[in-house]
Amino acid sequence: MQRDEIRGTRLGRVGVWLGRLGWMPAAVEREASARIESLGFGTLWYSESHSNKEALSHGALLLAATERITVASGIANVYARDPTAAAAGANALAEAYPGRFLLGLGVSHPTQVAPRGHEYRSPVATMRDYLDAMDAAGYEGPTPAEPFPRVLAALRPRMLELAAQRADGAHPYLVTVEHTRRARELLGNGPLLAPEQFVLLEPDASAARDAARTALSWYLQQPNYANALRWLGFGDEDLAPIASDRLVDALVAWGDEEAVAERVRAHLEAGADHVCVQPIGRGRDELGLDQLDRLAPALLAL
């Protein structure tokens, strides 16, 4: 399935990535997902941790709570279920909700794998073996009217190349516009490219960077992300012990609505097909929904 076909799943040019959903009560998720759909965003991306909701049942909850929006796992951890279960679950969702489910797969991080009792192995080899087994799995349930697209969490060249060869594209997380340029070159013209982008409506530089550093702190401790950022030219002085202003500004689009829209536009111009924005929630607006209300007109006009 190529980029134009995947667009038929109604991804849209801009979607929403809400990692915090997995820790929310179902009632809160239903209300939030319906609100995002009503704003006009094309896709809702959600996460999977070793300590929050399982990815495929979580996808079913979000699909049932909405009517049109595409729901995408960002990502389903390959250590959390065997390849046959992943294929069966994704097919079941694709058949029940035609054209509305996208399966994002990733190898996650050692800190997310060890609590499950698994040994973290070579990311590319692990993903290749998983895709081989998934493709070989039989499925005798009702055939979906539209096959579900699958994308890989891909940051560096070898995983990006695997995403081009064995999936419908790549879903890079915690990346910069320069990463999008490099990823498009490595993927070629055919595969989908859907990067995540942290956003924060905050005009004060100091306040914005403080909030961003808090949001980024866990991610920057994970080797996969740190190594990807080094590949982009950031050094130890940018990563630790406190993220540099340069790194924060490259990873988080902060400022007013136009500043955020300009960053999303830059990703699109660099080769992204779809950008999923992740608002940094603050205070009572933990999910950042009020920010999405304000951002929707500018982002959906891109």
* DSSP string computed for 263-298: HHHHHHHTT-S-EEEEE--BTTBTT-HHHHHHHHHH
Q: d(Cα 109, Cα 88) in Å, to the nearest integer?
A: 24
| Tens digits of residue pLDDT in 58-115 | 999 999 999 999 999 999 999 999 999 999 999 999 999 999 999 999 998 888 877 8
Query: Thinking of the domain 3-198+272-297, which architecture would CATH place it in?
Result: Alpha-Beta Barrel (3.20)
Q: Kindly report the pTM of this predicted structure.
A: 0.96
| Tens digits of residue pLDDT in 137-178 | 999 999 999 999 999 999 999 999 999 999 999 999 999 999
* Dihedral of the alpha carbons of 49, 210, 283, 74, in degrees to the nearest 10: -30
| β-bridge partners, 14 | 275
CB 232 within 8 A of CB 157: no
SS3 state of residue 108 = coil
SS3 state of residue 147 = coil
| Domain locations in the chain as residue ranges | 3-198+272-297
